[in-house]
Amino acid sequence: MIAKISGGKDTAGLIRYLFDTKKAKDHTDPHLVASWDGFAPDPGRADDFDTTKRLLVADLDLHVKQARRHGRAPEKHTWHCSIRAAPEDRILSDEEWADIARRVVAATGIAPDRDPDGCRWVAVRHAPDHIHIAATKVRADLRTARHWNDYLTANRELAAIEKEYGLFRVVRGDRTAAKRPTRAEQEKARRQGRQTTSRELLRTTVRQLVSIAASPEEFLHLLDGVDGVRVDVQHFPSGDIRGYKVAIEGDTNAAGEPVWFSGSQLAPDLSFPKIRERLTGIEPPPATEPGSRRRPNPWHQATAAAERIPHHLDQAEDTVAQAHIAAFAEALDVLPLLAPDHLRAQLQQAALAFERASRSRIRAQQDQARALRGAVRALRTAPVTGDGSGLAMFLDIAVLVVIATTRWHQTRHHDQQVAAAQQTLIHLQAAYEHAAAQPLAALAQRKPPTHIVEHHAQHIRTVLPDHAERILDDPAWPALAAALTQAETAGHDPRQLLQIAARQRALDDARSTARTLTWRIQRLGERHIPAPRAQAPNAQHAAVHPAAPQQPQAQRR
């Protein structure tokens, strides 16, 4: 069930609309199903419609007129709430709609239970699938009703009603979603031949710039350089930056002025104070690998940082977990800027969907995700080149992160975020399948000689006995064998790499265990090779602590 709530000044006009059967085509049988005392006059069942309607308006306005004589009536004294059932729901009876109406006016504070001074109200049903509640907001004691947050309280009560009545369970938000474009904005975009509105286009642009900026100042500099976007930065008298607003070039109002959007109008987390909080103190990734002069691979750094997110979601406080989810959203925002053309559409859709999953009522402790944000910024200098294995490797982990995020939101009953994460997963998995095909095929073509392949197969049987047959039968096994050969050629011990790869996270949730191991071995194989003295303790640890059997997880990739 969905509730819509509004206010107004004209009781007679509201009642006239609710009982109209000429202009409103869906008003087939308007009549009262409930009222404040159960005895309100019903124009829909009266012989003299006009007279009964005037009586109903007078009764509803009684306390409003009394309060007005004392100067205590609110200017907008009417309260209008429409409640619509889902198309999948059965047809409810008048008695059931009456019960729903009583519960909603009680929950919202219009007419609390057992309060003789509650506001006057009526519930009108003029179509099978919905009712309208019309009330005046002056109580019998001439005080104005306390109905703050009535939208939230009404929807909370409707959620309980859906469960009790066995109705369709609507996915409800928590008021952290970005504001949707208005109908006027959508019509304007269509007239101008654009598929997206100015608000949506600017929101995507700003989010992508935040994902690559390393400081608030750099963000504003990058924003000022975007073609087709106008920027206006506001300052305090002290000279400090107060905020910003943006507009699309050529998008003007009736007076010919630019249609400006502040950051907070684009999304709750895009106001300048929120952006400054996220971009302050980003931890830069190391310039070289430990023990080596070689510059680390940014894709490997980002993958390693993202790989730790599921652990944070399982173990850390909610504020820390929320920070890592928000930082991961920035990683998804930057991917369409780096990926090849054939992957951009899916990655853009994934980023747009996850934008909703990245916010909740839980306030993020942003300083806990500095390393991940630093790794994400390093990606802007590493566009996808060669066979694209870096991107495929990151997307393999990204799928896991989205699954973990879905579970995290589910346990906290964040319904809209769960739905957004599930939609993200569809796009990410499609992008991963396309991104992984070429690098895996390139690896498979480097298949080592048969005796080397058998050598690695024996390592698999020794180190991963529970997964061995599935890995060796996997179409990606030739690619994994090639990755193990490359690592061994570089000086690594394949068995130790398999031990480390198996300990990084469970393998039972992988759609393809061989593919997952391939990316891990590739990343581990490019690390600095430890000195012989350091290798001995590692080998001893691997012998004492073999790869433990993996526990299956709730969702499979």
Q: Distance between CA 236 and CA 421 in Å, rounded?
A: 39
Q: Distance between CA 165 and CA 186 in Å, rounded?
A: 36
pTM over cut 0.85? no
Backbone phi, then psi, for 501, in 5-degree steps? -60, -40
For 187, the enclosing helix (H) or strand (E) is helix 183-191
How long, in residues, is the chain? 557
Q: Distance between CA 263 and CA 274 in Å, rounded?
A: 9
Per the CB < 8 A criterion, the answer to whether 246 and 336 are in contact is no
Q: Distance between CA 149 and CA 111 in Å, rounded?
A: 15
Q: Distance between CA 233 and CA 262 in Å, rounded?
A: 10
Helix, strand, coil proportions of the chain in percent (round to 5)? Answer: 55, 10, 35
Q: Distance between CA 230 and CA 218 in Å, rounded?
A: 16
Tokens of 306: 């993202």
Q: Distance between CA 304 and CA 372 in Å, rounded?
A: 9
Per the CB < 8 A criterion, the answer to whether 244 and 206 are in contact is no
Tokens of 310: 């599921």
For the chain, 557 residues long, give each residue's pLDDT as a single digit of tens. 989 999 999 999 999 999 988 776 677 889 999 999 999 999 999 989 999 999 999 999 999 999 999 888 999 999 999 999 999 999 999 999 999 999 999 999 999 999 999 999 999 998 899 999 999 999 999 999 999 999 989 999 999 999 999 999 887 777 788 888 888 899 999 998 988 999 999 999 999 999 999 999 999 999 999 999 999 999 999 999 999 999 999 999 989 999 999 999 999 999 999 999 988 877 766 666 665 566 778 898 899 899 899 999 999 899 999 999 999 999 999 999 999 999 999 999 999 999 999 999 898 887 788 888 888 888 887 766 667 889 999 999 999 899 999 999 999 989 899 999 999 999 999 999 999 999 999 999 988 999 999 999 999 999 999 999 999 999 999 999 999 999 999 999 999 999 998 887 667 667 788 998 999 998 888 775 655 544 444 444 444 444 544 443 434 43
Q: How many CA atoms lie within 13 A of 506 on its CB side?
A: 18
Q: Distance between CA 481 and CA 527 in Å, rounded?
A: 18
Tokens of 509: 């949730």
Contacts of residue 302, Cβ cutoff 8 Å, sequence gap at least 6: 331, 372, 375, 376, 378, 379, 394
Of the candidates 207, 210, 203, the one whose C-alpha atom is nearest the C-alpha of residue 248 is: 203
Q: Distance between CA 259 and CA 282 in Å, rounded?
A: 33
Measured from the Cβ of residue 21, the count of other Cβ atoms closer than 10 Å reads: 13
pLDDT for the residue 239 = 93
Kindly give the interhelix angle for 318-338 and 370-378, rounded to the nearest 10 degrees. 0
Per the CB < 8 A criterion, the answer to whether 397 and 432 are in contact is no
Q: How many CA atoms lie within 13 A of 104 on its CB side?
A: 36
